[in-house]
Chains A and B, each alone.
Chain A
Amino acid sequence: MKRTWRTGLVAAAATAIVATACGASTTPSGASPAPTAAGKPAAAATPAITRGGAAIVAIWQFPATLSPHYANQTVTQIVNYGVVEGLAQTADSGEYVPILAKSIPTVTNGGVTVTGTKMDVKWELKPGIKWSDGTPLTSADIKFTWEIWMKDPKVNTRTGFDQIEAIDTPNELTAVVKYKMIYAPYPLNFSDLMPKHLLEKEADVSKTDYVRRPLGTGPFKVVEFKTDDSITLEKNPNYRDAPEKPYLDKVIFKSTPSVQAAMAQLKAGEVHAVWNLTADQAVDLEKVQGLVVQSVPGPTVERIEMNTAQNKEGTDPNSKHPVLSDMEVRKALLYATPKQQIIDKIFFGKAKEGTSPVSQGWAAYKVPQEGYDPKKANETLDKAGWAKGADGIRAKGGVRASLTYATTTGDATREKVQQVLVDEWKAVGIEVRIQNQPSSVLLAGSCTGKDPRKLGTFDLLQYASSPGIDPHATVFQRYHSKNIPTLANCAGQNYTRVKVPEIDKAIDEAGATLDLEKRKAAYQTALKLLNDQVVIIWLYDRADLDGRQEIMRGWEPNAWQRFSWNIQNWWLAKK
């Protein structure tokens, strides 16, 4: 589902790319004029919109499938923004905006009815919307989308859909979704609709042409899918804003073997845009005449998590890490972490200091952690009884302050961060040994895949993750004491093994209500208490950096979407 793929990238692509990073929003001025209805210049300085033409976008991963219910790659979403739509999406501000629905149903506007612990959500479709083959979109398609997600065993995730009891379709344009429980992220549950008339008779969607040419309601339709080569989208004549939009006749997604190759093709003028660059690549492209780099702050946060339980396979959540169970040591590590210096040196000043796992949107917690102060780090450790030995490394009660530090292998940016931190921490008397692993292991996500976070076989571990637009799943999965993974039940993601009753209580409160203000307050409490424990160093907020030819116009930033989210507004200016 669209709202979830932002981090899919982290796991899937980390083997091929170096970490993306950067933060400052520098929307190029004059590059994205708001297109006016008649396509006329809005102001004298704004050039008129040119219609037609084909934009070529370089993609350095190739979608294995375009079917929204199978996909687990960000690149699928990049392509599908032009093709598949849903009832609602997220605006840059973090608010929900209706796409195919007339409005977002809420308790206030009567669209959501809560009865006890259940709730009904009433969606109304905009009238007159058609699939790109001309068939009208109806409420039956909403119901079908739920049914197929629950029926097909190969779908990516059923989260949300598995909370639905039934869907009523009182008329062609109305669907009443009946949830078994209070399900707060309901607005984005149907962010990708699937066509009933095309797929209902298929026993297995994976055997159909839909997986490569999905039928949608979006501005474009897929006309050609050439594996590992290109995907061609052509204007959808049945699009609801046609013939006004889309402005482009065609969009071609061109496969390139790597980001470097995509950059070379951008410089050579073979492609119009490149998605997802690293900071140093962005700096390189900015120097080139005629190219623009667009940076959009995203919700992905790079962090270092500390294991408070013993470092051993299948660790007991009640056990104590000989070094990291001491909060003073954790504090000292934080005080000796020069976030700003890392941002300036490694990210060319473009990133932003991390503050919490939820850095964007309505529930964002933006209070910074305590700042860089190595003197304070030394004092803290001295006071706590960690005395420096002859080699400058501290020890207490025969335990040496020596830790392992893991991140994904082959990631130049992360390796640079590690070098800085190993030196900084050594200077305050904490020895750190680097023990990196391939991302397929480090982030395997299962005990069988030997994920050290799941097994508890790490001291310090650096990776990136991001919350959904509704933060509940993330906060609950990662910081509630119920979700500490063990060999018997490996599901949870509370990797630091943090266990604080007050945090649990706040998270439970947030999950039990639909009242946004109450939820927000509860998350703020939980995240503050979490930061009080200093089990995680929030290094920096990552951002999407995309490069394009200056002549490609119409782009707008959206923290919650990927760069092709407003593809219907793109156009190519004449040189």
Chain B
Amino acid sequence: MGRYVARRLIQAVPLLLAISAVSFAILKVTPGGPLAAYEGNPDFTDDDRKRLEAAFGIDQPIPLQYVAWLQRFLTGDWGTSFASHLPVLDLILERLPNTVYLMATVFVVVLLLSIPIGVLAALKQYSWFDHVITGATFAFLSTPTFWLGLLLIVVFGLQLRLFPLGGMQTLGSEFDPVDRMRHLVLPVATLALVQIGSNVRYLRASMLETIGHDFMRTARAKGLAERVVVLRHAFKNAAIPLVTVVALDLPELFVGALVTEQIFGWPGMGRLFLDAAFRFDYPVLMGILTVSSALIVLSNLFADVLYGYLDPRIRYS
């Protein structure tokens, strides 16, 4: 097991290097550049352009720029943003708590709701409850978040005036937990509804499969209580695929939700990335891309390890 993890980790290094090189190249060959924002300024001269290109290091050939970036990155210097001239790491650390706050809430809500709903839907297959849930999960699963988010804003924010339209708290007021919660409701609902849809479908399918197994009949034949049969024998086995799915979602805790953060004006990582993309702010983009690719690689490994732990039949070699 230890050797397996070590091998996967070593394999991840060239993989991440390749990812970073490809992302850097893609960013660089995209037409446009960070100096476009200065262009409309009638006072902006070619001397200014050359000076800024040199200051940002974008006057060098692309391979050299990549090597310079990589050297700095490996020594812990993530570079400075072209737009704010602040260290990339500071910019990321500034948004990270906001994103974790939002995404962790989503994570908890999703788990708390999707597990009982998924289990119940499977146990009561073809009941009216199952039909309603199946219909609803399909609907939410097929709904794009940008549309759902706007719909929630229009209905619950603008028309019913139940929740604020965006942001993390009411401006100009003191910290207030109730106010914070109210601001969480719509963005969390947007993200959770879609994800609950997907999780419920996974869990329902794998529960149905488990219930049909022989050991279920054995458990019942032993005279175990139905609760124990369902929770200990069926659910524990059925949850294995769900665990993998959830583990693979872990990077989102840090990367955030691009669209939802944008719609709700949430000051998190998703908006940082989007703003940086619009401004061709390469250092910020590279910082986020590298961190998120590393997290995805790690969570894949985590999911694999967890899977083996939950299902001892799986052996690593």
Contacts and interface: CB of A to CB of B under 8 A. Distances in A.
Nearest to A449: B33
Given A156-B48, A261-B265, A268-B158, A228 B272 contact: yes
Nearest to A491: B46
Given A158-B48, A270-B164, A446-B35, A257 B264 contact: yes
A264 B268 CA distance: 22
A160 B43 CA distance: 9
B37 A154 contact: no
Interface residues of A, number: 72
Nearest to A61: B275
A232 B41 contact: no
B81 A64 contact: yes
B80 interface: yes
A537 to B, nearest CB: 20
Residue in A257, A451, A474 with the greatest tally of chain B CB atoms within 10 Å: A257
A65 B166 contact: no
B42 A72 contact: no
Contacts of B43: 1, 3-4, 157, 159-160, 468, 473
A62 interface: yes
Contacts of B204: none
A157 B41 CA distance: 9
Interface stretch (B167-175, B221-229, B244-252, B299-307): B167-175
B95 interface: yes
A154 B85 contact: yes
Interface string B37-64: 1111111111111011011000000000
Given A10-B40, A158-B48, A254 B157 contact: no
Interface string B82-102: 011110000100110000000
Interface residues of B, number: 54
A10 B165 CA distance: 27
A521 interface: no
Contact of A62 (B35, B263, B275): B275
A244 interface: no
B165 A265 contact: yes
Contacts of A199: none
Interface in B232-274: 262-265, 267-268, 271-272
Interface stretch (A110-118, A278-286, A435-443): A435-443
B4 to A, nearest CB: 41
Contacts of A257: 166, 262-265, 271
B37 A8 contact: yes
B280 interface: yes
A157 B157 contact: no
A160 B279 CA distance: 26
Given A153-B55, A229-B267, A257-B264, A7 B171 contact: no
B2 interface: no
Given A159-B44, A440-B31, A441-B31, A11 B39 contact: yes
A255 interface: yes
Residue in B31, B85, B168, B171 with the greatest tally of chain A CB atoms within 10 Å: B171
B153 interface: yes
Contacts of A153: 51-52, 54-55
A267 to B, nearest CB: 7
Nearest to A65: B84
B265 to A, nearest CB: 5
A46 interface: no
Nearest to B154: A264
A437 B32 CA distance: 10
A140 B48 CA distance: 25
11 contacts: A72-B41, A157-B48, A229-B168, A229-B265, A229-B267, A232-B171, A256-B265, A268-B161, A437-B31, A440-B31, A491-B46
Given A157-B44, A255-B267, A257-B263, 9 more contacts: A8-B40, A11-B37, A73-B37, A158-B47, A229-B168, A445-B35, A450-B31, A466-B42, A468-B43
Interface of A: 1, 3-12, 15-16, 54, 56, 62, 64-65, 70, 72-73, 153-154, 156-160, 162, 206, 211, 226-230, 232, 250, 252, 254-257, 261, 264-265, 267-268, 270, 437-441, 443-446, 448-451, 465-468, 473-474, 477, 489-491
The 8 closest A-B pairs by CB, nearest first: A445-B39, A440-B32, A7-B40, A491-B46, A228-B267, A206-B85, A64-B83, A159-B43
